[in-house]
Structure 1
Amino acid sequence: MALQYIRQLYSLGTLDTRFVVPSNAPPKEALELAELDPAQPLPVKNGQAQSKESTEDVQPSRWNTFEFKAYGVLISICVFFMFKAVLDVSKESHPNYPKFAHILDDGWIPGRKVDNSDAQYSNFRSNIPYLFLVMLLHPLLRKLYDGFWRADTYTRVRSSGASGLTMGLSPSAAADARLNQRISFDVPFAAIFIIALHGFSAFKILAILYMNYCIAKKLPRPYVPAATWTFGVSILFANEFGKGYSYATIFSTFLPSPPSSEKDAHATNFGHVLDSYGGLNPRWEVLFNFTVLRLISFNMDYYWSLASPSSASSSLEKQLDPSNLPERSRVALPAPPGVFTFRHYFAYTLYAPLYLAGPILTFNDFISQLRYPLPSLSRRRTLLYAVRFAIVVLTMELMIHYMYMVSIFHASERPGWDWSAYTPAQLSMLGFFNLKHIWLKLLIPWRFFRLWGMMDGIDAPENMVRCMSDNYSVTRFWRGWHRSFNLWALRYLFIPLGGSRGQAGGGAWKGQLRGVANKLAVFSFIAIWHDIQLRLLMWGWLVTLFVLPEVVAAQMFPAHKWTHRPDAYRYLCGVGAVGEILLLMVANLVGFALGMDGLRELGRGILSWGGITFLGVAIVALFMASQVMFEWRESEKRRGIRMKC
């Protein structure tokens, strides 16, 4: 019984039903799929029983072979020494401990300090109790609001009883009523939420929203895409360099300067008074990057809806059940023309559960979910997701109470730091677990806000598909890391640019190079979106560069030529996977942890005779790990699940 519960808890259906229900299949299948034993094959694929052709390339299970049993034992030993390496350098007896001890705080685990030195996660961690309070209060207030207006009496779909009488409204009318009911709550709540969060800076946000709305609604249609992207990127730069546009600076620009004799006595203006009421989070511009993505989504969805509104409506009418639209249809089909108003736009861009950190939901999908609740959401699945979230938070707490790699890297930036006190293995594991910390500090807020949305009836895409250590491909890694952003970039940037093969002809290689150029443009935007820093631009360019070996290898060693030698091809892919994993670690250490200078110092410590020996052992361990990753994905294929990450 306990094993079955653990299987359900860590099944892909619990994480996100999008992973087990194809994007072109009606989501009501998710209710059936989620109840299945995760070890059993899925009975449907794209709404139909699986054919022989869909499973003929699946390999038989290798879990019980001697090879994979040996992998299990050896990988377990490696994992033990990986943790031990960082635990040893985090002890008080280590020579460098006094140099970073002052960075540590008192922890809640008896006798342990806590490494709370990461400013981004520290801010979220300190506000978790308040965020939980708002997360519980928000859905409760909606239920009270709906109950007061007796929303169930006019949002119920018409159904026939035994006497032939009907109750409620037609599906379309009920959907419109439900949309209006939710929007009528979301708009005032969003206004109160933004004012409480950012104080008088809420008016700056409103001004930006209105300017973007005018671009979509008042410019001639051909100019909307270029103007939208120009405005969005300009806001990113303006927010960075304007530091939130303080009212004091704005007022001083338009008001006359006081006489020189009065400057000292009257150095302030009314803007300082407004700036003093900055809400719970005065630095609104730090979080506004997510809102910029929603601004672009609204404008582009509206732009595309104007192309052929009649054909779009007819396509929607052809759906057998509009309350059971596949995910692809919810995203691609234009929302009804009447919802592209400032009221709906305001509710979407400032929707409280997803405002601070996403996940990103397109405007079309948001409106569709407001009109028709998704069958994939249920109390049981939401509860299981909440349990997984709690386990992740506990994992992070244990890690920062016993492993102090973040503080070590912070202290290493100061003069007098001695890297020679660490062995090559310890240096490597400090870098590896620093990446683990980055993965967890992003995973936790994203899952928290997605959980809040699920409790409120909105199912946004899961951002983190796989564990950080369960990746062996640069391309697949970025499909599963910040997945909602990846889907957003795919829809609004990568495909319009021409996709993976570009828009130019001239052969496969030219198309591939054009596709790489498109990826360079996408990752450059992603780097700027994260933060306008040179090291992040270098990260984006490195990621694009590191895609090239994968593209070249796929051309040189196509899978169809190795169908009769599956083991040889698996080992060949394992060699390539080792290289890809090392490249991924380098790119992310540069972009999010150490920068080029820090990576250079880390590499200098590793590239010694002892370091080269360790590197050889690490390569063997990564090769074994890649074989386990391959087999794990084969086990998913045996269940009918084919993920692209």
Structure 2
Amino acid sequence: MSCLDYLKRLYSLDTLDTRFTTSGKLPPRVSGEDPSIADSKLPAQQTLGSANGHGKHAPLPGAQPSRWRTTEFYFYYLCFLTIPFLMVKAVYDVSKDSHPNYSKYAPLLSDGWIPGRKVDNSDGQYAGFRDNIPYLAILLLAHPFLRRAYDSFWRINTYTNVRSDSSSNSGLTQGLSPSAAADARLEQRVSFDVGFAAIFLLALHGFSAFKVLLILYLNFKVATQLPKKYVPAATWIFNIGILFANELSRGYPLSGVAGLFLPSQTSAAGGVGDQTGWGAWIDSYGGLIPRWEVLFNITVLRLISFNLDYYWSLNSSASSSIEVWLPGMSERVLAEHADAPKKKQLDPSNLSERDRVSIAAKPTDYTFRNYLAYALYSPLYLAGPIVTFNDYISQCRYKLSSVTRTRTFLYGIRFGVCLLTMELCLHFLYAVAISKAQPDWQVYTPFQLSMLGYFNLHIIWLKLLIPWRFFRLWSLIDGIDPPENMVRCMSDNYSALAFWRGWHRSLNRWILRYIYIPIGGSGRGKVRAIANYLAVFTFVALWHDINLRLLVWGWLITFFVLPEVICTLLFPAKKWRDRPDAYRMLCGVGAVGNVLMMMAANLVGFAVGLDGLKGLVHGIVGSFGGLVFLAAACGTLFVGVQVMFEVRESEKRQGINLKC
């Protein structure tokens, strides 16, 4: 394999996540497997309509011819070879120690590992991850090793010695049936997951681990003890209430709880006796992460997932529409059931993602132990990505064919490249420290101001991407394949709607299943869809953090979706089929406005806030030179958008439509 071929495979969508190159209606395939071969292994019912399921299949309808070798795009290549260099240089120049504002943000910088450079480790959220990378690396290696050791000494043969379920007696081996072996594998994995999670939770949160377990227990009781009709409402009320309670009480410190319920007593010497000292003493054992409530938001999503999956299973268990199809099932056996009511025939060891999520687990799977193993699954506990309870149970029973050593190794290399990129940014571009110091914005040129905001957003994107990819890598090494959270680079987005499908993708899919579709989705008109978007982003803002700035961010995102929705109604693509180039240019103009609005909303929500945004905007548009720069910036964005369009068209020519 040549170096170029290796790079293509390293940065292919299939390496990132097979969900991007395989239809959600089809089972995952092994890395590098020919799609036609993969399809031939499936029952006839699962190959129907799969022509566009894999990336190597026929182009999607409406895919445009390639423009990569046109004169127009050669001009774009020239822009890409020069403008990004100037963008980086603008922030590098204002990060030098000779800059007038350097003294204001210098205290926020730390000693770096690159000679002669300080590092901008001023973002507290990412600093918590960055400072603990050596310990996380040890954990990444120790957890799979301990699982293998556990499997080696404790009943691993109970789910590897599998016999065929063919109707013929020939070829039988001594061992368990596939179904029993899968149940044994689930039992084996859950046993280890619960035990490791208990140790992991105590190490992370100390005594507060018992607070986490109490919340989990109460949520389990909401799902299993209340009358069925009250479960959905009670689940939402309980878990949203927990979000508020965790925030307002700051994790329920026992010293504060004791102060509320235990009266103080006056000693004989006339002083007030301390009845809460024991509470403060226990609080001092807070583990590696004493503020457990800050990271509990991701667990809340899993609690809701379990409760609603269990609730929906009660409606489906009575009359399941699933008929299990097993490899090796003879044609005679299938023919014997030809007169039975038509049911969906599935291989439970090779389900599509849609089936893994939507098909209820067995009634006996909704136990407190399985629930604990899922909610506290160590590789995904701190930050996700999010898998649903049904999907977790399915993958514990059967390892996905897409989880291979080669793909996991390539994914690990991509993670390493992202980590190195972040380190270079933090050592040479001090955008975060400058924005935190709130310097005199008038010292900067409009170009420098815009680049400070732009690279602020890029560092925000990287600081979320890196932990998500680290924990997903850990999960892949452990044999569980969660969705990839980041589909595209932050700079490869022009649509507000598509952006949110690809940013924190597992959360987006969770919202679709548990919020957006249950409240009506987009199937009841555009006005109702906008109202549903508002409800969704209000929940997302509160879920991230309970403060006004993020609420404003959520409402701004909804407001900025409106122009895109209105424009798609006023300029439908079907009316421009005879003028594809004119429509592409028109969409490019609209996309530039979308990009500017998305940047503004995210700067408010995650970087400089409203006041900081006002300073940036005033510095850019407050002079004639600033307006000239703004026009040039819009032209640059237009070039970038046209390349984004062509990237998506090239994917369509490969039979891939990511919808983002």
TM over 0.5: yes
Q: What amino acid is aligned across from residue 635 of structure 1 in structure 2?
A: S
Identify the residue that residue 16 of structure 2 maps to in structure 1: 15
Alpha-carbon distance in 1 for matches of 2:588, 2:357: 36
Identify the residue that residue 99 of structure 2 maps to in structure 1: 94
Q: Taking structure 1 as reference, are residues 169 and 436 closer, same or farther at Cα in structure 2, changes over 3 Å only?
A: same
How far does residue 166 in structure 1 lie from its aligned partner after superposition? 2.3
Identify the residue that residue 48 of structure 1 maps to in structure 2: 50
Kindly provide the CA deviation profile for residues 582-603 of structure 1, in whole angstroms up to 9, marking residues without a partner as x.
Answer: 0100110010011111111111
Question: 2:254 touches 2:279 (CA, 8 Å); kept in 1?
Answer: yes
Q: What amino acid is aligned across from residue 511 of structure 2 in structure 1?
A: A
Alpha-carbon distance in 1 for matches of 2:169, 2:323: 33
Identify the residue that residue 515 of structure 2 maps to in structure 1: 493
Of the candidates 484, 491, 507, which is equivalent to residue 469 of structure 1? 491
Identify the residue that residue 594 of structure 2 maps to in structure 1: 580
Kindly provide the CA deviation profile for residues 146-194 of structure 1, in whole angstroms up to 9, marking residues without a partner as x.
Answer: 0002413434432489963324322211110100011111111111110
Identify the residue that residue 114 of structure 2 maps to in structure 1: 109
- SS of residue paired to 2:131: helix
Of the candidates 553, 568, 590, which is equivalent to residue 539 of structure 1? 553
How far does residue 55 in structure 1 lie from its aligned partner after superposition? 3.3
Identify the residue that residue 448 of structure 1 maps to in structure 2: 470
Q: How does 1:28-39 map to 2 (within 5 A)?
A: 28=29, 31-32=32-33
Kindly provide the CA deviation profile for residues 488-546 of structure 1, in whole angstroms up to 9, marking residues without a partner as x.
Answer: 011000000100134xxxxxxxx101010001000000000000010100000010011
Identify the residue that residue 443 of structure 2 maps to in structure 1: 421
Kindly provide the CA deviation profile for residues 292-316 of structure 1, in whole angstroms up to 9, marking residues without a partner as x.
Answer: 0000000000000001213336355
Question: 2:30 touches 2:404 (CA, 8 Å); kept in 1?
Answer: no
Identify the residue that residue 542 of structure 2 maps to in structure 1: 528
Identify the residue that residue 68 of structure 1 maps to in structure 2: 73
Kindly provide the CA deviation profile for residues 413-455 of structure 1, in whole angstroms up to 9, marking residues without a partner as x.
Answer: xxxx321110000000000000001000000000000000001
Identify the residue that residue 565 of structure 1 maps to in structure 2: 579
**Mapped pair 1:128 → 2:140:** no
Q: What amino acid is aligned across from residue 516 of structure 2 in structure 1?
A: F
Identify the residue that residue 247 of structure 1 maps to in structure 2: 254
RMSD of aligned residue pairs (Cα, Å): 2.0
Alpha-carbon distance in 1 for matches of 2:34, 2:526: 37
Identify the residue that residue 347 of structure 1 maps to in structure 2: 373
- SS of residue paired to 1:194: helix
Question: 2:58 touches 2:654 (CA, 8 Å); kept in 1?
Answer: no
Of the candidates 299, 304, 314, which is equivalent to residue 312 of structure 2? 304
Question: 1:13 touches 1:20 (CA, 8 Å); kept in 2?
Answer: yes
Q: What amino acid is aligned across from residue 609 of structure 1 in structure 2?
A: F
Question: 2:60 touches 2:654 (CA, 8 Å); kept in 1?
Answer: no
Alpha-carbon distance in 2 for matches of 1:579, 1:287: 35
Q: What amino acid is aligned across from residue 93 of structure 1 in structure 2?
A: S
Q: What amino acid is aligned across from residue 639 of structure 1 in structure 2?
A: Q
Identify the residue that residue 338 of structure 2 maps to in structure 1: none
Q: How does 1:177-196 map to 2 (within 5 A)?
A: 177-196=184-203
Question: 1:19 touches 1:641 (CA, 8 Å); kept in 2?
Answer: yes
Q: What amino acid is aligned across from residue 18 of structure 2 in structure 1?
A: T
Q: What amino acid is aligned across from residue 299 of structure 2 in structure 1?
A: T
Question: 2:415 touches 2:466 (CA, 8 Å); kept in 1?
Answer: yes
Kindly provide the CA deviation profile for residues 248-283 of structure 1, in whole angstroms up to 9, marking residues without a partner as x.
Answer: 112222222121756556364321121011111110
Q: What amino acid is aligned across from residue 362 of structure 2 in structure 1?
A: P
Q: Taking structure 1 as reference, are residues 340 and 163 closer, same or farther at Cα in structure 2, changes over 3 Å only?
A: closer
Question: 1:427 touches 1:602 (CA, 8 Å); kept in 2?
Answer: yes
The runs of 5 or more residues in structure 2 that have no matched partner are 38-45, 326-343
Question: 1:212 touches 1:295 (CA, 8 Å); kept in 2?
Answer: yes
Identify the residue that residue 25 of structure 2 maps to in structure 1: 24
Q: Taking structure 1 as reference, are residues 518 and 163 closer, same or farther at Cα in structure 2, changes over 3 Å only?
A: closer
Kindly provide the CA deviation profile for residues 48-94 of structure 1, in whole angstroms up to 9, marking residues without a partner as x.
Answer: 33599963411111000010011010132211111111011001111
Question: 2:120 touches 2:426 (CA, 8 Å); kept in 1?
Answer: yes
How far does residue 571 in structure 1 lie from its aligned partner after superposition? 0.5
The runs of 5 or more residues in structure 1 that have no matched partner are 37-43, 503-510
Alpha-carbon distance in 1 for matches of 2:284, 2:309: 38
Q: Taking structure 1 as reference, are residues 316 and 526 closer, same or farther at Cα in structure 2, changes over 3 Å only?
A: farther
Identify the residue that residue 617 of structure 1 maps to in structure 2: 632
- SS of residue paired to 1:166: coil
- SS of residue paired to 1:306: helix
How far does residue 604 in structure 1 lie from its aligned partner after superposition? 0.9
Identify the residue that residue 149 of structure 1 maps to in structure 2: 154
How far does residue 219 in structure 1 lie from its aligned partner after superposition? 0.4
Q: Taking structure 1 as reference, are residues 106 and 633 closer, same or farther at Cα in structure 2, changes over 3 Å only?
A: same
Q: What amino acid is aligned across from residue 534 of structure 1 in structure 2?
A: L
Question: 1:25 touches 1:46 (CA, 8 Å); kept in 2?
Answer: no
Identify the residue that residue 595 of structure 1 maps to in structure 2: 609
Alpha-carbon distance in 2 for matches of 1:18, 1:34: 14
Alpha-carbon distance in 2 for matches of 1:296, 1:625: 40
Alpha-carbon distance in 2 for matches of 1:253, 1:91: 52
Alpha-carbon distance in 2 for matches of 1:441, 1:392: 10
Q: What amino acid is aligned across from residue 324 of structure 1 in structure 2?
A: N
How far does residue 33 in structure 1 lie from its aligned partner after superposition? 5.3
How far does residue 564 in structure 1 lie from its aligned partner after superposition? 1.2
Question: 1:25 touches 1:326 (CA, 8 Å); kept in 2?
Answer: yes
Alpha-carbon distance in 2 for matches of 1:546, 1:165: 62
**Mapped pair 1:272 → 2:274:** no
Q: How many equivalent pairs are there?
A: 626
Q: How does 1:283-432 map to 2 (within 5 A)?
A: 283-312=291-320, 314-315=322-323, 318-412=344-438, 417-432=439-454
- SS of residue paired to 1:346: helix
Of the candidates 257, 270, 289, which is equivalent to residue 264 of structure 2? 257
How far does residue 28 in structure 1 lie from its aligned partner after superposition? 2.6
Q: What amino acid is aligned across from residue 624 of structure 1 in structure 2?
A: V
Question: 1:316 touches 1:333 (CA, 8 Å); kept in 2?
Answer: no
- SS of residue paired to 1:628: helix
Question: 1:463 touches 1:480 (CA, 8 Å); kept in 2?
Answer: yes
Kindly provide the CA deviation profile for residues 540-567 of structure 1, in whole angstroms up to 9, marking residues without a partner as x.
Answer: 0010011111111111111111111110
Alpha-carbon distance in 2 for matches of 1:485, 1:419: 36
Alpha-carbon distance in 2 for matches of 1:239, 1:456: 31
Q: What amino acid is aligned across from residue 301 of structure 2 in structure 1?
A: L
Question: 1:31 touches 1:375 (CA, 8 Å); kept in 2?
Answer: no
- SS of residue paired to 2:349: helix
Question: 2:264 touches 2:274 (CA, 8 Å); kept in 1?
Answer: no
Alpha-carbon distance in 1 for matches of 2:157, 2:131: 38
Kindly provide the CA deviation profile for residues 297-345 of structure 1, in whole angstroms up to 9, marking residues without a partner as x.
Answer: 0000000000121333635564341111000000000011101010000
How far does residue 18 in structure 1 lie from its aligned partner after superposition? 0.3
- SS of residue paired to 1:312: coil
Identify the residue that residue 630 of structure 1 maps to in structure 2: 645
Alpha-carbon distance in 2 for matches of 1:47, 1:372: 25
Shifted more, 633-642 versus 152-161: the winner is 152-161
How far does residue 102 in structure 1 lie from its aligned partner after superposition? 1.7
Question: 1:361 touches 1:460 (CA, 8 Å); kept in 2?
Answer: yes
Kindly provide the CA deviation profile for residues 470-494 of structure 1, in whole angstroms up to 9, marking residues without a partner as x.
Answer: 0000000000000000000110000
Alpha-carbon distance in 2 for matches of 1:216, 1:304: 11
Question: 2:323 touches 2:346 (CA, 8 Å); kept in 1?
Answer: no
Identify the residue that residue 40 of structure 2 maps to in structure 1: none
